[in-house]
Amino acid sequence: MLSLDRPQSPTSDELTCTTRILVVEDEELIREMVVMALQEQGFEVVTAADGHTALSRLQNQNTESAPAFPPIDLIILDLMLPQVNGLDICRLLRYQGNTVPILILSAKASETDRVLGLEVGADDYLTKPFSMQELVARCRALLRRQRFTAQPQSSTLQYRDITLFPSECRVTVRDREVNLSPKEFRLLELFMSYPRRVWSREHLIDRIWEADFLGDTKTVDVHIRWLREKLEDDPSKPKYIVTVRGFGYRFG
């Protein structure tokens, strides 16, 4: 059975009503429950009960013949569908160059099935039965990832005497190259992409560690301390990564 636990309310920085999710599921009860859970979180939801309808909906977006079909931001896709199965839909969309995030739902829980789903182009795989809270959390993680990667990346990010080269995974401080761990690099890249924005520890975990993180917010503090030791002249008096008491951290 599906869990009916209610997800938490969306945070203010999440896309909700401007985000359209296509739910492709032939089992009416599951489809209705998923739609209800997403709509309660403010998402706009459209549905399809079979593979042919789903493909028609996706392949007629923003055309003169179908002006009422605005773009889809995320697809929740069952595998066992009438007419065209979910794997074939996923495979066809990727072949056509469609990069919309796809979350597969399936009763097939074996490692082989999960690997196959991901290999044909899905971004995530959730087995039935599942909780609605986990479903919504995975949707948000995929949407955040899509929004972040869709942002045009400069060849370099510069702030004072720190230079970050995204494509090279390289950082220099006062013309001296410093070695950062992958998490430290991603933190610094996020900070430098949004200077002076205040990030709470929870938001940093969502963006850097993502939905599968099982630790606590102290992990953020540890990584910030390590970054300061590599960036700052005096880590005890930081001028780059500043603590905003009661809120989190700000860069610059």
Nearest to 195 by CA among 155, 162, 230: 162
Query: Is 81 within 8 Å of 23 (Cβ atoms)?
Result: no
* Strand 170-173 to 162-165 pairing: antiparallel
CA distance 42 to 203: 19
- Mean pLDDT over the full length of the chain: 83
User: Widest CA span of the chain, in angstroms?
Assistant: 64
Tell if the pTM clears 0.75, that is, is over it: no
Tracing tokens 């700052």 back to the chain, one arrives at 232
Can you give the pLDDT at residue 69? 60
pLDDT tens digits, 88-143: 999 888 888 788 899 999 988 888 888 888 888 888 999 988 999 999 999 998 88
DSSP string, 107-122: S--SHHHHHHHHHTT-
Residue 4 has pLDDT above 60, yes or no: no
Residues 20-150, CATH architecture: 3-Layer(aba) Sandwich (3.40)
Query: How many residues are recorded in the chain?
Result: 252
Task: Give, in order, the Cα–Cα distances in Å from 44 to each of 71, 101, 145.
Answer: 11, 16, 19
CATH 3.40.50.2300 in the chain is located at: 20-150
Q: What CATH number matches the domain at 157-251, 1.10.287.3510, 2.40.30.10, 1.10.760.10, 1.10.10.10? A: 1.10.10.10
The residues that bridge with 248 in the sheet, in sequence order, are 244
Nearest to 195 by CA among 230, 163, 158, 165: 158
CATH 1.10.10.10 in the chain is located at: 157-251
* Amino acid at the residue 92: L
Q: Residues 6 or more apart from 164 whose CB is under 8 A from it?
A: 156, 157, 158, 170, 171, 185, 188, 189, 192
pLDDT tens digits, 26-82: 999 999 999 999 999 889 999 999 999 999 888 776 444 444 567 889 999 999 999
CA distance 137 to 11: 12
